[in-house]
């Protein structure tokens, strides 16, 4: 069901006048205003603790200005067009456009909540939270484009005349599902099974890890679209507003006769010289928390002539200061990944890193810098990454693949199954699990990370709780896999890591790296926690102690292996009271699996069992994971209250 709203009339002071293909005057939003709002809302989110995107959305400001003028000429625009944004990380540019139009009451004040837990303006477009503004949810690159096919096909079946317009990035066109849709749409059109379809490609020749060159050039792919049956229209100057408008008009018209691609050449990071020139195109917003640079950033967008609305807002943000952090030093779990792998590579192990553009976020970048000849970036293609690793494994390498957990457990699932069937084990580093990827929103929060992989034969799942844990576990199990391969019975090991910073080490004895870790003993019960939530469990222990309760804490890091004798003793020593804790769906989750093993594989005397986790709903954006833990009853205070009830 479509919940989109009627088009508002453009009543913004920030417009430019251009000419249409018929040489008629047209008034469009000024792209500088769109980029200004992008920067300002990003700065608010960064001040709150969230990461944001700048480069990709800045590259499409001209097109968004034009396409909304065209679509919004019709009050019931949603009956004439399906507009689907596949560039999920550029959804903030669409929020900026809607605020400039006043769409659905959205205004500048609304943008200040971008990526916060109280806002429907999430990190990527989420239809379940903002149905009046987002037709199809996005986030994982290449995932919205195939859904747009279904819109156009069902429109044809319903005998309406809607045109489907899909905006996609060049990087997303590397994804397998995008290429499947590219192959399918022309054939469907020839068979009379799909309505007019326009695919708009923002070709900024950039991935997260840098500019696209050589083997990653998408030129051959885009050239091949003509042979597939697409009508190709090229826009060389994607930042010329009038040329963009006229090219968009022509492309929509052409789509009536053939599926059409508007191949739009853009610059990632457009509007700011530093991001235009940087290798990543300023993929992430380049300013830091309350660093006092946003006013100069806005001035540069306007050639030092920024309107007062934007200048005053920027000056307000410039005036904000933050206190320096105090307390124990913290670091990301990912630090332990390359530390272990570099040491093992130097010991002579045949490690090869195979990444899909996220090595800078998953902890593999230091390894790539140390061993460039043993490091491969396969492009934005997670499924292909895992499949490539299977081949390397068969030829006696130790392949290490890495991506976000949300992509690894979905796009990498079937290839991982096939790798196991082929006796081709690998090491998987799947980062940003559960609510740890707070700001990016639901599409990036892998709340089924355990259940998605736990039952694949010959795959062990490991969830470290800090960087030292990661380092020791990584080093042990990479060595173990290497030794076991020589005996022809090696397993794959999947490491699920958080995103935020934590104390580097628990500084506890760890006599058996292949089992879970009892961090603290107690007499009243056990909290069994996984990954990042171990730290909430430790805080809950302190709160319980103040109430006269003494609870033990288990670092449950081996998620689908189990030592029954160890757990039987631990449970009996803690009066048989168990609380499991996970930022995963409770249904078929980590707690359900663990307690089933306890009940069926031990003779432990159980007194009570409780499981805390996510209760059958999707997540949403928030500045930090802690905010989502509080909302879902997974923070330290909620844990303690649950035990005391």
- Band of pLDDT at residue 556, cut at 50, 70 and 90: very high
Q: How far, CA to CA in Å, does 414 sit from each of 358, 403, 409, 411, 459?
A: 20, 15, 9, 7, 13
Summarize pLDDT for 566-590 with one digit per residue, the tens. 999 999 999 999 999 999 999 999 9
In percent, how much of the chain has pLDDT > 70?
A: 100
pTM, to two decimals: 0.96
Nearest by Cα to 52 from 60, 63, 40: 40
Check whether residue 457 and residue 597 sit in a common domain. Answer: no
The partner residues of 459 in beta bridges, in order of sequence, read: 492
User: Are 521 and 490 part of one and the same domain?
Assistant: no
User: 360 with 393, same domain?
Assistant: yes
What is the pLDDT, as a whole number, of residue 52?
95
60 compared with 211, residue with greater pLDDT: 60
Give me the pLDDT at residue 211, please: 73
**Cα 515 to the chain's mean position, in Å?**
30
Would 295 be classed as within a structural domain?
Answer: yes
End-to-end CA distance of the chain: 42
Asked whether 381 and 356 are in contact (CB, 8 A), the reply is yes
Q: Check whether residue 277 and residue 347 sit in a common domain.
A: no
CA nearest 87: which of 36, 132, 46, 125? 125
Q: Are 102 and 11 in contact (CB under 8 A)?
A: yes
Per-residue pLDDT of 212-242, as tens digits, reads: 765 578 889 999 999 999 999 999 999 999 9
Co-location of 156 and 276 in the same domain: yes
Residue 203: strand pairing partners? 265
Tell me what pLDDT residue 214 has: 56
Averaged pLDDT, 287-304: 96
Residue 164 parent element (H or E): strand 163-169
pLDDT given at position 323: 78
Report the pLDDT value the prediction gives residue 30, as an integer from 0 to 100.
98
Compute φ and ψ for 264, nearest 5 degrees. Answer: -105, 115
pLDDT band at 182 (very low <50, low <70, confident <90, very high): very high
pLDDT the model gives residue 557 = 97
For residue 215, the model assigns a pLDDT of 59
Assigned domain for 383 exists: yes
Q: Which two tokens stand for residue 214?
A: 């050589």
- Of 318, 347, 382, which one is at a domain's C-terminal end? 318
Output the pLDDT for position 213: 66
CA distance 123 to 129: 12
pLDDT, tens digit, 9 for 90 and up, residues 242-268? 999 999 999 999 999 999 999 999 999
pLDDT at 477: 98
The two three-digit tokens of residue 559, written as one number: 């998620």
Q: How many alpha carbons lie under 13 Å from residue 521 in its C-beta half-sphere?
A: 6
β-strands 206-207, 210-211 pairing? antiparallel
**Does the residue 449 lie in any domain?**
yes
Residues 187, 64 within the same domain: yes
Per-residue pLDDT, averaged over 286-298, amounts to 96
In a domain, 509, yes or no: no
Domain boundary among 289, 318, 347: 318
- Predicted confidence band of residue 321 (pLDDT cuts 50, 70, 90): confident
Confidence of residue 620 (pLDDT cuts 50, 70, 90): very high
Q: Which helix (H) or strand (E) holds 84?
A: strand 81-85
Domain membership of residue 2 (yes or no) is no
pLDDT of 205 strictly over 90? no
Whether the pLDDT of residue 499 is over 80: the answer is yes
Domain final position from 502, 533, 557: 502
Residues in CB range of 515: below 8 A, 6 or more apart = 558, 563, 566
| Per-residue pLDDT at 488 | 83
Beta bridge partners of 578: 526, 609
Residue by residue, what is the 3-state secondary structure of 9-72?
CCCCCCEEEEECCCCCEEEEECHHHHHHHHHHHHHHHHHHCCCCECHHHHCCHHHHHHHHHHHC
- Hunting for tokens 């933050």 — which residue is that? 322
Check residue 328 and give its pLDDT.
87
pLDDT, mean of residues 201-218 = 78
Residue 9 inside a domain? The answer is: no
In a domain, 5, yes or no: no
Residues 311 and 348 in one domain: no
The answer to whether residue 71 scores a pLDDT higher than 70 is: yes
Q: What is the mean pLDDT of residues 270-280?
A: 93
In CATH, what number is assigned to the domain containing residue 403?
3.40.50.970
Tokens of 11: 């009543």
Q: What is the 3-state secondary structure (H, E, C) of 486-550?
A: HCCCCCEEEEECCCCEECCCCCCCCCCCCCCEEEECCCCEEEEECCCHHHHHHHHHHHHHHCCCC
Domain assignment of residue 107, yes or no: yes
Note the Cα 378 to chain centre separation in Å.
Answer: 18
- Domain residues for 593? 517-644
Secondary element (H or E) of residue 403: strand 398-404
- 578 and 608 in a single domain? The answer is yes
Percent of the chain with pLDDT over 90: 93
State the Cα–Cα distance between residues 2 and 443, nearest whole angstrom: 20
Mark whether 588 and 487 lie in a shared domain: no
| Segment 317-342 mean pLDDT | 91
Same domain, yes or no: 60 and 172:
yes
Domain count, the chain: 3
Mean pLDDT of the chain: 96
Q: Same domain, yes or no, for 289 and 365?
A: no
**Residue 476 CB partners (closer than 8 Å, separation 6+):** 513, 514
Q: What is the DSSP letter of 624?
A: S
Q: Count of CB atoms within 10 A of residue 11's CB? A: 9
Same domain, 295 and 354: no
- Write out pLDDT tens, residues 120-176: 999 999 999 999 999 999 999 999 999 999 999 999 999 999 999 999 999 999 999
- Residue 482 in tokens: 């290497």
Pairwise pLDDT comparison (393 vs 279), residue with the higher score:
393
Tell me: pLDDT of 206 over 90. Answer: no
Q: How buried is residue 601: exposed, middle or buried, by Cβ count under 10 Å (0-12/13-18/19+)? A: middle
């Amino acid at each position: 069901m479509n919940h989109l709203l009627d088009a508002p009339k453009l009543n913004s002071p920030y417009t430019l006048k251009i000419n249409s293909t018929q040489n008629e005057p047209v008034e469009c939003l000024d792209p500088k205003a769109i980029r200004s709002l992008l920067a300002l809302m990003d700065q608010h989110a960064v001040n709150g603790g969230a990461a944001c995107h700048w480069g990709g959305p800045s590259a499409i400001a001209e097109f968004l200005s034009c396409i909304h003028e065209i679509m919004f000429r019709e009050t019931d625009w949603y009956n004439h067009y399906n507009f689907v944004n596949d560039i999920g990380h550029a959804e903030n540019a669409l929020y900026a456009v809607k605020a400039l139009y006043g769409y659905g009451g959205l205004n500048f004040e609304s943008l200040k909540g971008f990526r916060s837990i109280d806002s429907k303006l999430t990190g990527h477009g989420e239809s379940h939270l903002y149905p009046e503004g987002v037709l199809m949810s996005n986030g994982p690159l290449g995932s919205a484009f195939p859904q747009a096919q279904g819109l156009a096909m069902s429109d044809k079946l319903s005998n309406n005349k809607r045109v489907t317009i899909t905006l996609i990035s060049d990087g997303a066109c590397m994804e397998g599902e995008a290429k499947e849709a590219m192959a399918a749409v022309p054939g469907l059109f020839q068979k009379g099974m799909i309505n007019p379809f326009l695919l708009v490609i923002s070709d900024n020749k950039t991935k997260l890890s840098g500019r696209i060159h050589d083997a990653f050039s998408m030129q051959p792919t885009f050239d091949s679209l003509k042979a597939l049956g697409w009508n190709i229209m090229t826009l060389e100057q994607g930042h010329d507003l009038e040329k963009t408008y006229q090219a968009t008009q022509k492309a929509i018209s052409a789509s009536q006769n053939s599926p059409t691609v508007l191949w739009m050449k853009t610059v990632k990071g457009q509007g700011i010289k530093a991001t235009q020139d940087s290798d990543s195109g300023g993929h992430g917003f380049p300013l830091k928390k309350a660093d006092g640079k946003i006013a100069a950033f806005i001035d540069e967008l306007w050639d030092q002539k920024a309107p007062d609305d934007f200048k005053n807002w920027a000056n307000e943000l410039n005036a904000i200061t933050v206190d320096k952090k105090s307390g124990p030093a913290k670091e990301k779990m990912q630090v332990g990944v390359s530390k272990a792998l570099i040491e093992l590579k130097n010991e002579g192990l045949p490690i090869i890193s195979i990444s899909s553009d996220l090595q800078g976020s998953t902890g593999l970048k230091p390894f790539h810098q140390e061993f460039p000849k043993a490091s491969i970036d396969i492009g934005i293609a997670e499924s292909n990454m895992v499949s490539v690793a299977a081949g390397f494994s068969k030829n006696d390498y130790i392949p290490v693949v890495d991506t976000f957990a949300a992509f690894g457990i979905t796009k990498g699932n079937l290839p991982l199954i096939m790798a196991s069937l082929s006796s081709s084990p690998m090491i998987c580093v799947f980062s940003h699990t559960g609510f740890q990827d707070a700001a990016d929103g639901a599409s990036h929060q892998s709340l089924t990370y355990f259940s998605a992989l736990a039952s694949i034969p010959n795959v062990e799942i490991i969830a470290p709780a800090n960087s030292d844990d990661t380092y020791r576990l990584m080093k042990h199990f990479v060595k173990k896999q290497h030794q076991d391969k020589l005996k022809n019975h090696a397993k794959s090991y999947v490491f699920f890591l958080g995103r935020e910073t934590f104390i580097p080490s628990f500084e506890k004895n760890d006599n058996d790296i292949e089992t879970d870790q009892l961090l603290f003993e107690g007499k009243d019960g056990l909290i069994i926690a996984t990954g990042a939530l171990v730290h909430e469990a430790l805080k809950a222990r302190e709160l319980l102690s103040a109430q006269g309760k003494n609870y033990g804490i288990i670092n449950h890091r081996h998620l689908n292996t189990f030592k029954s004798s160890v757990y039987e003793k631990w449970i009996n020593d803690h009066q048989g009271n168990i609380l499991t804790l996970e930022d995963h769906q409770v249904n078929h989750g980590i707690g359900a699996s663990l307690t089933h093993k306890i009940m069926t594989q031990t003779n432990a005397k159980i007194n009570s069992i409780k499981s805390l986790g996510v209760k059958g709903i999707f997540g949403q954006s928030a500045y930090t994971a802690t905010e989502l833990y509080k909302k879902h009853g997974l923070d330290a205070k909620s844990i303690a209250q649950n035990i005391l009830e």
